[in-house]
Amino acid sequence: MQIPEPLTRFQPHTALVLGSGLASFTDQLSPVARIPFTDLGLPPSSVPGHAGELILASLGATRLAIFSGRIHLYEGHPAHMVTAPIRIAAAAGATRLILTNAAGSLNPAFPPGQWMMLSDHLNLTGQSPLTGGPRFHDMSHVYSPAWRRRFAATAAAAPLPLHEGVYAGLPGPQYETPAEIRMLRTLGADAVGMSTVLEAIEARALNLETIAFSCLTNWAAGLAGPLSHHEVTTTGRNSAAAFASLLAATLA
């Protein structure tokens, strides 16, 4: 793990991970530095819609370390590498973490193009970033209840549709089958994706106050037409502005 001097000097308050198609969030910001993942000792991103760089910028009085893109299990990386950005952010001084992802909606009341705030998750990856390391961390409140209330109040005042539900994290890289989606609905999931849960587990072990959001980019398998990553990234880009407004208003 490498902590470059610009990141140490910047001293971020909050780390932000941007999921597929959400890189346009940074368009309204004035970065003070852009650091490629490779300069952090991280592998470059191989996924369209993931820039693979760390952007340092301020939003109001909040200094943000923005990971534009992330590392995935399905790229062939182990769980401990997937969560390396979270450890880097914590080592640089961040005490809060905002995770975002692109997800398929399983809930008929949560249509594509809208956002869901995670109340909880199902880790169905079969892996943990804590394997071989710290043990027995309490996961009763992975996603900060206080922070969720603040974001919900901001969204209601906007008004901006912001759902709240359970996210199922699977390893990928293939999309789920309709039968698997029916299983996930039975288990209580409202959205499904291929990221976030391992990062949230790492953050909980590091005592970072954490919140996470899913950009609902498509209906899950069996609920509409064929799935494509192009649809995911396009909907993500189109929905980024709404999230930017929510984030700016809440952090302010």
Q: Which pLDDT does position 24 carry in this prediction?
A: 72
- Confirm whether 125 is domain-assigned: yes
- Which residue is catalytic, options 75, 80, 152, 238? 75
- Confirm whether 218 is domain-assigned: yes
194 is catalytic: yes
229 is catalytic: yes
Lookup: tokens for 152? 């919900």
- Which residue is catalytic, options 13, 74, 119, 144? 74
C-alpha 57/C-alpha 37 separation (Å) is 16
- Confirm whether 239 is domain-assigned: no
Long-range contacts of 220-223 (CB under 8 A, 24+ apart): 220/104, 220/105, 220/106, 220/176, 220/181, 220/184, 220/191, 220/192, 221/104, 221/175, 221/176, 221/177, 221/178, 221/180, 221/181, 222/177, 222/178, 222/179, 222/181, 222/182, 223/105, 223/106, 223/181
Coil/strand/helix, residue 187: helix
Position 8: which residue type?
T
50 is catalytic: yes
Coil/strand/helix, residue 248: helix
Show pLDDT as tens, one digit a residue, over the chain (252 residues): 668 888 888 999 999 998 866 777 777 788 899 999 999 999 887 766 566 899 999 888 889 999 988 899 999 999 999 999 999 999 999 999 999 998 999 999 999 989 999 999 999 999 999 999 888 999 999 999 999 999 999 999 988 899 999 999 999 899 999 999 999 999 999 999 999 999 999 999 999 999 999 999 889 887 876 666 776 667 667 677 788 888 888 886
- Confirm whether 11 is domain-assigned: yes
143 is catalytic: no
Q: Which pLDDT does position 118 carry in this prediction?
A: 98
Position 154: which residue type?
T
How many domains are there within the chain? 1
Beta-sheet pairing, 33-36 with 115-123: unpaired
Q: CA 47, 53, 57, 59: dihedral to nearest 10 degrees?
A: 20
20 is catalytic: yes
163 is catalytic: no
- Inter-residue contact 66 to 54 (CB < 8 Å): yes
- Which residue is catalytic, options 68, 101, 128, 218? 218
CATH number of the domain that 185 lies in?
3.40.50.1580
Coil/strand/helix, residue 193: strand
In the chain the beta strands, taken as DSSP E runs, fall at 14-18, 33-36, 53-59, 62-68, 96-105, 115-123, 162-169, 191-193, 209-219
Structural domain that includes position 77: 5-234
| Radius of gyration of the CA atoms of the chain, in A | 17
- Which residue is catalytic, options 90, 194, 242, 244? 194
- Confirm whether 250 is domain-assigned: no
- Confirm whether 215 is domain-assigned: yes
- Confirm whether 252 is domain-assigned: no
195 is catalytic: yes
Phi, psi (deg, nearest 5) at residue 168: -100, 120
117 is catalytic: no
- Confirm whether 170 is domain-assigned: yes
